[in-house]
């Protein structure tokens, strides 16, 4: 029986994606590093985590879009689909590439950029001219813990992966304006859930209160179930969208 | 090697491109796929390559359904589209990246084909090359993969006059008894000397799929001064050199196949052509 998974073929696929995108990736890494250097420099006046999270989301979107950009370009799609590898191998390599390679690229370029920004910040702070208005609580020392990144928090990482899997599926499902359509669909879906929530709350009898939306307490549910659900939801969704990506790729025509 | 059984395909349900198409193609041939614009030549090649899925019926290549796009099948199939994907890589980088996917790829052959196309030592990125140059690189690569089935959509489009003759030369170099080439083309004169079998598509069906010798055994291609008194005449075309005719080859006379005349004769006498070749 023919193998659906061959490590050699998957390595070749990963290599081919890397070779074709390396210049673009390098440019992206430099842009991220530059942005993070500015963030590092201005850390005293900005909220580090939120900006980092925003940068992550944007990079994931760019990556998901460019990874499957090939599907909207017919000659490229034809070349990709006729590459001698199974659909499962192509899906696995793309998922791994997006979640490992780009994650490392993002983390490394962000970290380096942020580190350089901090060095620059500290250097500026030393100068008497800037000291008064460029100071920060920890301006003279660079602290690793100050770089709050999603890798440090498993739940954030899982939710990030879930979003990447949704974007990846959207990128292959929609042929044109894939990212925009995916985000729009996600917004509509989110809005539908929100409306459903309101209906459920109305049905169970409690008065509608927006503040209660985030603090619904169900005393009968043990805490461990809540915790498991918190981690299980992104895992299930991620696996679901990975599988859907595989199925969609199998049915893709060019 | 390739078998289509009752293949029906349409981009919309109302107007199918093909209906119950049947075709069997064997190795050791260079097939010329002919048909008017929009008749479905590219679509047919895509169905064979597993890039389009038939609405009903089966398309098999090496005995397995092409839609599965299995690695084993894809290792022995290459599709050169009319528009090609040209990455921002040099020829050498391209070969280093994609050749390992094809177990029978030959770097020596690649170099020989590139030499024929005068592209040896070219360090330019493929994406920055002219359309004709890109085509030469992709054709060289496709031939050097040594795949059993090679599909080419309008391979001579964009090639200059010397390159067209080089193309014929490299194709002749690459052809052997194991390999099957399908060349879809409108430029029949470019490939006349290369093609040894004709597949003629029209109105969602195959009018003709025969080797050249079978065609010339059934049809007589002749230049005459007058068509008066000619029986079994299927088609005549008045030119400065005389009247080019296609008629039924009742006496099995020897003649040379003229693909353009055949095409025009078949399109204008579909019923008769189908009748003539129904026994084959």
Distance CA(A6)–CA(B177), nearest Å, equals 31
Q: Are residues B249 and B267 in contact, defined by beta-carbon separation less than 8 angstroms?
A: no
Query: CB pairs under 8 A, 24+ apart, for B154-157?
Result: B154/B82, B154/B184, B154/B185, B154/B186, B154/B187, B155/B80, B155/B183, B155/B185, B155/B191, B156/B185, B156/B187, B156/B190, B156/B191, B157/B82, B157/B187
Optimal mutation site among A2, A73, A82, A249, interface B, most CBs of chain B within 10 A = A82
A85, B74: Cβ pair inside 8 Å?
yes
**Which residues of chain B make contact with A251, given a CB cutoff of 8 A?**
53
B71, A74: Cβ pair inside 8 Å?
no
Is the complex ipTM more than 0.95?
A: no
**Which residues of chain B make contact with A12, given a CB cutoff of 8 A?**
100-101
- Token duo for residue B234: 């299927």
B102, A84: Cβ pair inside 8 Å?
yes
- Token duo for residue B226: 């007058």
Listed in sequence order, the residues at least 6 apart from A131 whose beta carbon sits closer than 8 Å to its beta carbon are A125
Percentage, residues of chain A above pLDDT 90: 19
Q: Name the closest residue on chain A to residue B138, using Cα atoms.
A: A79
Give, in degrees to the nearest 5, the angle at Cα A29 between A25 and A34.
150
Average pLDDT over residues B227-249: 88
Domain edges within chain A: 7-253
The pLDDT score that the predictor gives to residue A216 is 53
Distance CA(B41)–CA(A80), nearest Å, equals 21
Convert the pLDDT of each residue in A190-214 to its tens digit: 899 889 888 887 777 655 555 555 5
Residues belonging to chain A with any Cβ–Cβ distance to chain B shorter than 8 Å: 2-3, 6, 9, 12, 15-16, 19-20, 23, 73-76, 78-79, 81-87, 89, 251, 253-254
A82, B49: Cβ pair inside 8 Å?
yes
The pLDDT score that the predictor gives to residue A53 is 62
B72, A82: Cβ pair inside 8 Å?
no
- Token duo for residue A113: 């950029």
Domains defined along chain B, listed by start? 2-84+145-203 (3.40.50.300), 211-276 (no CATH)
A82, B53: Cβ pair inside 8 Å?
no
Strands B242-248, B219-224: pairing kind: antiparallel
Strands B180-184, B149-153: pairing kind: parallel
Distance CA(B199)–CA(B235), nearest Å, equals 19
Is the pLDDT at B210 greater than 70, yes or no?
yes
Distance from CA of A169 to the nearest CA of B (A): 20
Is the pLDDT at B143 greater than 90, yes or no?
yes
Q: Is B203 left (phi over 0), alpha (psi -120 to 50) or beta?
A: left
Is the pLDDT at B167 greater than 80, yes or no?
yes
To the nearest 5 percent, what fractions of chain B are helix, strand and coil? Answer: 35, 30, 35
In what side-by-side order are the strands of the sheet with B219-224?
B219-224, B242-248, B233-239
B72, A2: Cβ pair inside 8 Å?
yes
Average pLDDT over residues A207-232: 67
Distance CA(A158)–CA(A150), nearest Å, equals 9
Q: Is A83 left (phi over 0), alpha (psi -120 to 50) or beta?
A: beta
Convert the pLDDT of each residue in A46-60 to its tens digit: 555 555 666 666 667
- Token duo for residue B268: 């204008």
Q: How many residues does chain A have?
A: 254
Taking Cα atoms as reference points, which of A30, A35, A37, A40 lies closest to residue A143?
A40
| Residue B104 sits at the chain A interface (C-beta within 8 Å) | no
Query: What's B125's DSSP letter?
Result: B
Convert the pLDDT of each residue in B21-69 to its tens digit: 999 999 999 999 999 998 999 999 999 999 999 999 999 999 999 999 9
Per DSSP (E only), the strands in B149-214 are 149-153, 180-184, 197-202, 205-211
CB atoms within 10 A of CB B116: 17
Angle between helices B131-144 and B161-174 (to 10 degrees): 10
Residues B70, B71, B74, B75, CA torsion sign: negative
Residue predicted with more confidence, B192 or B76: B76
Q: Are residues B143 and B109 in contact, defined by beta-carbon separation less than 8 angstroms?
A: yes
Give, in degrees to the nearest 5, the angle at Cα A75 between A101 and B159.
130
B77, A82: Cβ pair inside 8 Å?
yes
Nearest neighbour of A253 by CB, restricted to B53, B78, B101? B53
Q: Is B69 left (phi over 0), alpha (psi -120 to 50) or beta?
A: left
Taking Cα atoms as reference points, which of B17, B15, B49, B18 lies closest to residue B7?
B18
Taking Cα atoms as reference points, which of A130, A156, A109, A150 lies closest to residue A44?
A130
Distance from CA of A24 to the nearest CA of B (A): 11
Distance CA(B253)–CA(A97), nearest Å, equals 64
| Residue B69 sits at the chain A interface (C-beta within 8 Å) | yes
Distance from CA of A18 to the nearest CA of B (A): 10
Name residue, tokens 């528009």.
B83
The pLDDT score that the predictor gives to residue A214 is 53
The pLDDT score that the predictor gives to residue A171 is 84
B77, A75: Cβ pair inside 8 Å?
no
With bands split at pLDDT 50, 70 and 90, how would you rate the model's confidence at B187? confident
- Token duo for residue A83: 């590459």
A83, B74: Cβ pair inside 8 Å?
yes
Q: Name the closest residue on chain B to residue A18, using Cα atoms.
A: B97
Q: Name the closest residue on chain B to residue A22, using Cα atoms.
A: B88
- φ, ψ for residue A79, nearest 5 deg: -65, -40
Identify the bridge partners of residue B29 per DSSP, sorted by sequence position.
B180
A74, B69: Cβ pair inside 8 Å?
no
Convert the pLDDT of each residue in A47-94 to its tens digit: 555 556 666 666 677 766 666 666 778 888 899 999 999 999 999 998
Mean pLDDT, all residues of chain B: 91
With bands split at pLDDT 50, 70 and 90, how would you rate the model's confidence at A105? confident
Q: Are residues B43 and B201 in contact, defined by beta-carbon separation less than 8 angstroms?
A: no
B93, A76: Cβ pair inside 8 Å?
no
Strands B233-239, B205-211: pairing kind: unpaired
Taking Cα atoms as reference points, which of B154, B195, B211 lies closest to residue B25?
B211
How distant is the alpha carbon of residue A251 from its chain centre?
A: 25
**What pTM value is reported for the model?**
0.84
**Which residues of chain A make contact with B85, given a CB cutoff of 8 A?**
73, 75-76, 78-79
With bands split at pLDDT 50, 70 and 90, how would you rate the model's confidence at A144? very low
The pLDDT score that the predictor gives to residue B71 is 95
The pLDDT score that the predictor gives to residue B93 is 95
| Residue B147 sits at the chain A interface (C-beta within 8 Å) | no
**Which residues of chain B make contact with A83, given a CB cutoff of 8 A?**
74, 98, 101
| Residue B74 sits at the chain A interface (C-beta within 8 Å) | yes
Distance CA(A18)–CA(B29), nearest Å, equals 38
A2, B71: Cβ pair inside 8 Å?
yes
Query: CB pairs under 8 A, 24+ apart, for B161-169?
Result: B163/B117, B163/B132, B163/B136, B164/B190, B166/B116, B166/B117, B166/B118, B167/B139, B168/B193, B168/B194, B169/B116
The pLDDT score that the predictor gives to residue B12 is 85
């Amino acid at each position: 029986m023919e193998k659906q998974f061959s490590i050699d073929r998957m390595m070749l696929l990963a290599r081919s994606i890397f070779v074709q995108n390396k210049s673009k990736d390098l440019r992206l890494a430099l842009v991220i590093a530059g942005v993070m250097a500015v963030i590092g420099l201005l850390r005293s006046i900005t909220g580090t985590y939120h900006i980092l999270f925003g940068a992550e989301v944007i990079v994931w979107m760019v990556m998901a879009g460019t990874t499957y950009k090939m599907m909207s370009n017919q000659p490229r799609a034809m070349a990709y689909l006729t590459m001698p590898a199974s659909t499962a191998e192509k899906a696995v390599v793309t998922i791994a590439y997006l979640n490992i390679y780009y994650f490392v690229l993002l983390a490394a370029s962000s970290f380096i950029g942020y580190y350089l920004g901090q060095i620059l910040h500290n250097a500026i702070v030393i100068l008497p001219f800037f000291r008064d208005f460029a100071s920060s609580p920890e301006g003279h020392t660079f602290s690793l813990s100050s770089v709050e990144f999603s890798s440090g928090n498993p739940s954030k990482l899982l939710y990030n992966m879930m979003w990447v899997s949704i974007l990846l599926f959207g990128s292959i499902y929609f042929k044109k304006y894939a990212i925009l359509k995916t985000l729009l669909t996600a917004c509509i879906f989110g809005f539908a859930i929100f409306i459903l929530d309101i209906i459920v709350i109305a049905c169970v009898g409690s008065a509608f209160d927006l503040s209660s939306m985030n603090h619904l307490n169900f005393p009968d549910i043990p805490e461990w179930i809540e915790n498991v659900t918190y981690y299980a939801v992104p895992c299930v969704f991620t696996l679901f969208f990975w599988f859907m990506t595989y199925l969609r790729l199998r049915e893709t025509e060019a | 090697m390739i078998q289509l059984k009752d293949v029906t395909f349409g981009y919309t349900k109302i107007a199918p491109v093909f209906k119950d198409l049947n075709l069997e193609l064997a190795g050791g041939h260079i097939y010329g796929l002919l048909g008017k614009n929009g008749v479905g030549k590219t679509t047919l090649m895509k169905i064979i390559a597993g890039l389009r899925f038939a609405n009903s019926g089966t398309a098999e290549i090496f005995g397995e359904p092409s839609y599965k796009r299995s690695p084993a099948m894809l290792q022995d199939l290459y599709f050169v589209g009319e528009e090609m994907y040209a990455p921002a890589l040099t020829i050498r980088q391209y070969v280093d990246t994609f050749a390992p996917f094809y177990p029978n790829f030959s770097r020596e052959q690649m170099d020989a084909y590139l030499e024929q196309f005068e592209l040896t030592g070219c360090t330019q990125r493929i994406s920055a090359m002219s359309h004709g140059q890109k085509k030469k690189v992709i054709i060289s690569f496709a031939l050097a993969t040594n795949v059993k089935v090679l599909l080419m959509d309008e391979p001579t489009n964009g090639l200059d006059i010397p390159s067209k003759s080089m193309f014929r030369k490299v194709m002749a170099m690459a052809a052997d008894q194991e390999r099957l080439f399908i060349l879809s083309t409108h430029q029949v004169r470019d490939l006349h000397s290369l093609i040894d079998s004709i597949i003629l598509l029209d109105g969602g069906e195959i009018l003709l799929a025969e080797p050249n010798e079978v065609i010339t055994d059934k049809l007589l291609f002749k230049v005459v001064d007058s068509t008066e008194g000619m029986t079994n005449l299927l088609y005549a075309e008045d030119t400065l050199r005389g009247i080019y005719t296609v008629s039924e080859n009742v006496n099995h006379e020897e003649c040379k196949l003229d693909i353009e005349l055949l095409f025009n004769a078949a399109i204008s006498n579909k019923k008769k052509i189908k009748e003539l070749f129904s026994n084959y």
